[in-house]
Chain A
Amino acid sequence: MIERSDRLSAYVSASHSFTNSGRWCVYLRSAINFMRRQWEYLLLPLALALFLVLWQSIVWIGGYPPFILPSPGRVYAKLVGVLSDGLLWWHMRITLIEIAGGLVLGLTTATVLGYLLAKSRWLERLVSPYIVASQAVPVVALAPLLVIWFRSGQLSKVLVCALTIFFPMLVNVMVGIRSVEPDLVDLMRSLRATRWQMFILLEVPSSLPMLLGGLKVSVTLSVIGAVVGEFVAADRGLGFLINVARGHFDTPLMFVALFTLVGIALALYLLVVIAEGVLLRWRG
């Protein structure tokens, strides 16, 4: 930002010595150069604007009633409404807690088990049939069972969420740990590294790119997991809010809840991307 404004002021001060017509030429050229350099940053807002325009024109052309397809304006009004009376915050907090619980549970079990499976071939032979079988059953089909076993409280949602992210994370952890350079293992052995040093100085940093890749998939899936859980049986949360809105033909509210879910997924994803930028600086 600073750099950008510096460049601009440099252009401006340089142009002061020019004649009047020449000055405008310089202004124009610097403006074009500026746009050329910054257009990548403009793409995201542009995509968003394009989406809104497209949406609004479909509403106009189709002439749909709000309960089928509400206009962006109506959804925005709804958003302001549910934000001001605290309804959205309240449900969002519930879902966020479920997601957080699911992430903690799913990521820890997947990481621990993934590490053990990567280290022991016989354990992998023993356990992998069950893991693959569990993946053949859709989580949506398992969710009602979990609700029966663990009641319709938040625990069952946490479990559904954890189950959803478990497998992709497990696979990434296994691949990450198995892809540690054998030559570096030799090096560590020649330096008489302990088991713990081998883990903390070699295995963790070397599998970090894979771990963060798994985390990217997991955080997005975790939102789906929590909502699937809420769809089966719940009296709170964003999934519940969507169900209630559907019952009342309050389609604008459904849109608000949907966009909130998208926002949560994007925010989580962005957090992982930032973590990647910090932790994987060495990749340049």
Chain B
Amino acid sequence: MEIILRAEHISVIFPSPQGGLSALEDFSLAVSAGEFVCVVGPSGCGKSTLLRVLGGLLPPTSGQVYLHGKALNGPCSDIGIVFQKANLMPWRTVVQNIILPLEIQGLDATESRRRAAELIRLVGLEGFEQSYTRELSGGMAQRVAIARALIHDPQILLLDEPFGALDALTRERMNLELLRIWEARRQTVVMVTHNIQEAVFLSDRVIVMTTRPGRVTAEVPVRLPRPRSSDIVYSDAFSALAWTVHEAIPG
């Protein structure tokens, strides 16, 4: 498999009165094309910082991120990001929110609408095209955010605990949905979460991080068959993997 995204010896130190807070230390990661990678760690371990670095939003203090072997120095349209909060613009309708990336790229409106309609079907939001975001539930808002991240067809999708704010039941359903969407599109995904079950269920590989400074402590390959259904979490193989990840998390 071709390596599409590579982070080499990333360190991020935030300036603080005590002389600098180290959020990430010597973090390296290589992601193959079409791979689904989950990064797991306790809260405050620098997971969101990592995602911001990978997305080109935050320049690392040292180290370098490479996309297709080229140094990444800033945001790139090959990367779509879904944030912790849905991060929708309340003054825009669902469709208008979804086509925002295309509007910024200057694509014409009819083509944008066509692609949006397709994605709205994919994420199951038919009938809500003209709704404003205040009329949406948390799960629906995140579906819009996912559709928005997919619309300019980025090769890489970065997900920052996208379902962290949802209740357990909705979260489970959204994970299934996410897998379905991923099976349909096969983007490369790097997702950050603190939920072990979720990480094992979704990914091909789980990366475990330590807290402050964030460092990789373990890598657990997940070789469960795909497509996966929700029953898989009750299998012995799943439990064994979840246990391995659990044991690797310090503290």
* A contact residues vs B (CB 8 Å cutoff): 181, 183-184, 186-194, 197, 201-202, 205-206, 208, 280-284
Q: Smallest distance from the beta carbon of A41 to chain B beta carbons, Å?
A: 27
Q: Which B residues are in CB contact (< 8 Å) with A281?
A: 132
Other-chain contact of B101, A191, A202, A280 (Cβ < 8 Å): A191
**Between-chain CB contacts (< 8 Å), 18 pairs:** A181-B87, A183-B83, A184-B87, A186-B52, A186-B57, A187-B87, A190-B56, A190-B75, A191-B75, A191-B101, A201-B104, A205-B89, A205-B92, A206-B91, A208-B91, A282-B90, A284-B134, A284-B135
Give residues in B with beta carbon < 8 Å to A: 52, 55-57, 75-77, 79, 81, 83, 85, 87, 89-93, 100-101, 103-104, 132-135, 152
CB pair A197 B90 closer than 8 Å? no
Given A186-B57, A282-B90, residue A197 in contact with residue B132 (CB < 8 A): no
- Quick check: A192 and B77 within 8 Å, CB to CB? yes
Q: Is the CB of B103 within 8 A of A201?
A: yes
Cβ-closest 9 pairs across A and B = A282-B132, A205-B91, A282-B91, A190-B75, A190-B81, A191-B104, A191-B101, A193-B104, A183-B87
Dominant secondary structure of chain A at its interface with chain B: helix
Q: A183-B85, A197-B104, A284-B132 are in contact. Are A190 and B91 (CB under 8 A)?
A: no
List of A residues within 8 angstroms of B57 by Cβ:
186, 189-190
B170 to A: closest C-beta gap in Å: 21
Distance in angstroms between the alpha carbons of A231 and B85 in the assembled complex:
55
Contact A184 B89 (CB under 8 A): yes
Q: Which of B103, B104, B134 contacts A282 (CB under 8 A)?
A: B134
| Besides A190-B79, A283-B134, 18 other A-B contacts (C-beta < 8 A) | A181-B87, A184-B87, A186-B57, A186-B83, A186-B87, A188-B104, A189-B75, A190-B56, A191-B75, A191-B104, A201-B100, A201-B103, A206-B89, A206-B91, A281-B132, A282-B91, A282-B134, A284-B134
